[in-house]
Amino acid sequence: MHALVRRPSPRLAEGLLTHLERKHVDVDLAAAQWEAYVEAMRSAGWTTHEVDPADDCPDSVFVEDTMVVFGPLAVISRPGAPERRPETLAAEAAVGARGYRIAHIEAPGTLDGGDVLKHGNTVWVGEGGRTNAAGISQLRELLAPLGAEVVGVPTSKVLHLKSAVTALPDGTVIGHEPLVDDPEVWGARFLPVPEEPGSHVVVLDDRTVLMAASAPRSRRLIEERGYRVVAVDISEFEKLEGCVTCLSVRLRDA
Ligand code: CIR
């Protein structure tokens, strides 16, 4: 199991904000939290590969947004925020070096990896501030030959679809309901969680998920369903609208 990560920029504190007020970001603490996040992945059996840093891009640590990986294909994104577009270059080189076939989202399409939730062959894509309809239809065409069904999901209350919902290994979709445009998209598979960061999980294996330490009540709910939860403090990234999912790209299909 392999994953891409990217060391935070010294300019992290200048990261973009859409839904939050700017708060002081402690860049040294962020660096320590990032190391602990990477260590948590390694302890769970993942080999991490660093994408070359992009020190001029404050949001580059949120490496998930640079691509969508499905089977043997890496679709390099065209981030909705123009400031973030230079981030994709080194990310493409890193995933290419791991043997992935490369495709690109092209103008006028925009798409951020944080808007893409995969489970099995279903790929839900948030259409909102960062990802547009053209980006979604390009992704649909690129993934259709691989057997993926791409489903567009309106996303107006949060930055990215995965700021509102993610999936447990069994396909249960967890979300903090006030931030989900339409939970009916997932019908009976939808499980509400009591805290916003409680809706963010990184699946480490069939029984284990990584979560933010800021969601203890949601953590208990997930543990009651039989999962082991590894919790990490990512407070400095949360101040920049980042969550556990955005800090890595898992390549286990490679
Ligand atoms: C941004 O606005 O792009 C960053 N400050 C946060 C990106 C978080 N990424 C994610 O949720 N996938």
pLDDT in tens, 128-148: 999 999 999 999 999 999 999
Domain, as residue range, for 98: 2-250
pLDDT band with cut points at 50, 70 and 90 for residue 252: low
**What's phi and psi for 156, nearest 5 deg?**
-115, -10
What is the reported pLDDT for 42?
A: 97
Yes or no: say if 130 and 112 are a contact pair by the CB < 8 Å rule. Answer: yes
Interval between CA 206 and ligand 1 midpoint (Å): 26
Q: Which ipTM value was assigned to this complex?
A: 0.98
The CATH number of whichever domain residue 70 belongs to comes to: 3.75.10.10
H helix count then E strand count, the chain = 6, 15
Neighbouring residues of 188: CB distance < 8 A, sequence distance ≥ 6: none
User: If you average pLDDT over residues 48-72, what whole number do you get?
Assistant: 98
Residues above pLDDT 90, as percent of the chain: 99
Q: Checking DSSP bridges between strand 208-212 and strand 202-205, what pairing results, if any?
A: antiparallel
Q: Which H helix or E strand runs over 51?
A: none
Residue nearest to atom 12 of ligand 1 (CA): 114
- The binding-site residues of ligand 1, defined as CB within 6 angstroms of any ligand atom, are 15-16, 18, 59, 62, 64-65, 81, 84, 114, 159-160, 162-163, 240-243, 246
How many distinct structural domains can be found in the chain?
Answer: 1
- C-alpha atoms less than 13 angstroms from C-alpha of 62 in its C-beta half-sphere: 32
